C-alpha cells in the first residue's frame, strides 16, 4: 500500500475528475473531436467562471492555463524593465527567479531580493523603504514550496508603491488549501495551478489579471489549444475544492511530541531536517513502507531563501484529504524509528 504525502507536488485527482476526463475522450471516439468540443462549449465557459470564483475574481479577467509559469512569464515579459528594479521575496520559486533574472539582464533592469520577514511576527512595512519610483514589480509567493510559509500577502498588497508598479502573486501552493481572494490581497495579477491542492489533472492552472496589469486577451491564446478533456476535468476539480484538512497539523504535532520539530510553516507542508548520516536509512525505510514524500533542495527550489543542506537533508511531507490518521501515525513511526 502506498502512503502518498506529496500534495505540494501533485494531489492525486478525485475519481470524479478522472471519470469526467475519460467520458470526454470516449465522446471524441464516438463523434470526433470537433463534435465533442461543441458539446462542451457551455461547460468550458463554466470552468472559467469556477476558476474566477475560486480566487474571488470575475470571469472576464480570469484565464485558464497549463502551468503557473506560463502566465507568470507572459505577464513579466510585458513589463518595461529598462532602468527599473524588480523586487522579489526570498522564497520566490526558482524558475521565476531564473526567468526574471535573464529577462531583466537583457532589458537593462535588475532583480533585488527583499530582506526576510520574521515568520513569528512578519512586518511587511520593513520592505516599504525598498519600494521607490524605479520599482516595476514586486513578486511574492503566497505560500512557499519548501516549508509552507504563508506570506502576509494582504499586508504586502497594502504597501505604498508607484502607480505603474505591479504586485504579482504566485499562488501555486496556496490555491486549494488557503483562502485566495485577489481583492483582499490587493494584487495586480495572480497565477496558480490546479494540480496540487486542488487535485485537478496535470497541465491545468488559472490566472487573473487586474486592470493595471493590462488586457487579458493576449494571454488567452494558449488557452484555446488546451486539451478539452483536461478543461472539463479541471472544472470538476474546481467544483469539489475544499481545504487541506487537519492532517498536516496532526503530523507536525505528532513529530514534535517525539522530539522532531518541523521548520516554521503554517500550511500543509511539514518539513524536517534529517542528519546526513540518517538520510539513506530513512529513505530506505520510507521506500519499504510505501511512504512517498519529497526531498527538496532549496538551492534548486528557492535559491534566494538562504536555506541550505549543510545541517542535513530536508524532507517535506504534505498530507491532504485523501490521507488517513492511520497513515499519519505510520509515517511518524517510520521517521522516529
How confident is the model over 164-198, as pLDDT tens digits? Answer: 999 999 999 999 999 999 999 999 999 999 999 99
| pLDDT of amino acid 119 | 78
Give the CA distances from residue 267 to residues 58, 143, 225, 246, 271, in Å, rounded to whole numbers and listed in that order.
26, 8, 34, 10, 11
List the domain boundaries for the chain.
3-13+244-336, 15-240
| pLDDT of amino acid 216 | 78
Q: Return d(Cα 230, Cα 33) in angstroms, integer.
A: 14
User: Cell for 200?
Assistant: 485537478
pLDDT at 225 over 90: no
Q: Read off the pLDDT of each residue in 316-328 and give the average, rounded to a whole number.
A: 97
**Length of the chain counted residue by residue:** 337
State whether residue 322 is helix, strand or coil. coil
Q: Read off the pLDDT of each residue in 144-156 and give the average, rounded to a whole number.
A: 96
pLDDT at 120 over 90: no
* Percent of the residues in the chain that have a pLDDT greater than 70, as a whole number: 99
| CATH fold group of domain 3-13+244-336 | 3.90.1150
Q: How many CB atoms lie within 10 A of CB 177?
A: 28
Please give the biggest Cα pair distance in the chain.
62
State pLDDT tens for residues 33-68.
999 999 999 998 899 999 999 999 999 999 999 999
User: Cell for 316?
Assistant: 517535506
Give CA torsion, residues 123, 126, 132, 134, to 10 deg. -80
Q: Read off the pLDDT of each residue in 240-252 and give the average, rounded to a whole number.
A: 90
Residue 337 contacts residue 329 (beta carbons within 8 Å): no
pLDDT at 221 over 90: no
Count the alpha carbons within 13 Å of 63 in the hemisphere toward its beta carbon: 28
Out of 2.60.40.2890, 1.10.357.10, 2.60.40.1930, 3.40.640.10, which CATH number does the structure's domain 15-240 have?
A: 3.40.640.10
Q: Read off the pLDDT of each residue in 190-215 and give the average, rounded to a whole number.
A: 94
* Percent of the residues in the chain that have a pLDDT greater than 90, as a whole number: 88
Q: Read off the pLDDT of each residue in 263-267 and give the average, rounded to a whole number.
A: 91
| pLDDT of amino acid 39 | 95
Amino acid at each position: 500500500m502506498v502512503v502518498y504525502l506529496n500534495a505540494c507536488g501533485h494531489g492525486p485527482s478525485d475519481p470524479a475528475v478522472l471519470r469526467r476526463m475519460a467520458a470526454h475522450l470516449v465522446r471524441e471516439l464516438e463523434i470526433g473531436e470537433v463534435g465533442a468540443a461543441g458539446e462542451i462549449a457551455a461547460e468550458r465557459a463554466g470552468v472559467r467562471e469556477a476558476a474566477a470564483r475560486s480566487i474571488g475574481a470575475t470571469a472576464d479577467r480570469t484565464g485558464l492555463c497549463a502551468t503557473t509559469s506560463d502566465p507568470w512569464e507572459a505577464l513579466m515579459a510585458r513589463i518595461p524593465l529598462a532602468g527599473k528594479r524588480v523586487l522579489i521575496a526570498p522564497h520566490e520559486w526558482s524558475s521565476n527567479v531564473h526567468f526574471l533574472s535573464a529577462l531583466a539582464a537583457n532589458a537593462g533592469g535588475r532583480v533585488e531580493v527583499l530582506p526576510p520577514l520574521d515568520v513569528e511576527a512578519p512586518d511587511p512595512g520593513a520592505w516599504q523603504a525598498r519600494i521607490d519610483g524605479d520599482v516595476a514589480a514586486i513578486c511574492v509567493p503566497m505560500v512557499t514550496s519548501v516549508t509552507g510559509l504563508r506570506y502576509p500577502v494582504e499586508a504586502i498588497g497594502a504597501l505604498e508603491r508607484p502607480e505603474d508598479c505591479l504586485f504579482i502573486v504566485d499562488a501555486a501552493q496556496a490555491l486549494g488549501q488557503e483562502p485566495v481572494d485577489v481583492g483582499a490581497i490587493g494584487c495586480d495579477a495572480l497565477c496558480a495551478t490546479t494540480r496540487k491542492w486542488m487535485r485537478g489533472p496535470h497541465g491545468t492552472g488559472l490566472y487573473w489579471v487586474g486592470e493595471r496589469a493590462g488586457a487579458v486577451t493576449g494571454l488567452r491564446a494558449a488557452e484555446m489549444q488546451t486539451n478539452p478533456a483536461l478543461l472539463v476535468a479541471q472544472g470538476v476539480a474546481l467544483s469539489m475544492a475544499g481545504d487541506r484538512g487537519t492532517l498536516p497539523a496532526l503530523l507536525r504535532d505528532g513529530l514534535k511530541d517525539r522530539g522532531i520539530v518541523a521548520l516554521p510553516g503554517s500550511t500543509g507542508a511539514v518539513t524536517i531536517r534529517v542528519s546526513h548520516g540518517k538520510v539513506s536509512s530513512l529513505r530506505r525505510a520510507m521506500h519499504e513502507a510505501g511512504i512517498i514524500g519529497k526531498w527538496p533542495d532549496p538551492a534548486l527550489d528557492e535559491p534566494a531563501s538562504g536555506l541550505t543542506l549543510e545541517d542535513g537533508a530536508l524532507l517535506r511531507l504534505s498530507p491532504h484529504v485523501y490521507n488517513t490518521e492511520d497513515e499519519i501515525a505510520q509515517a511518524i513511526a517510520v521517521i522516529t524509528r
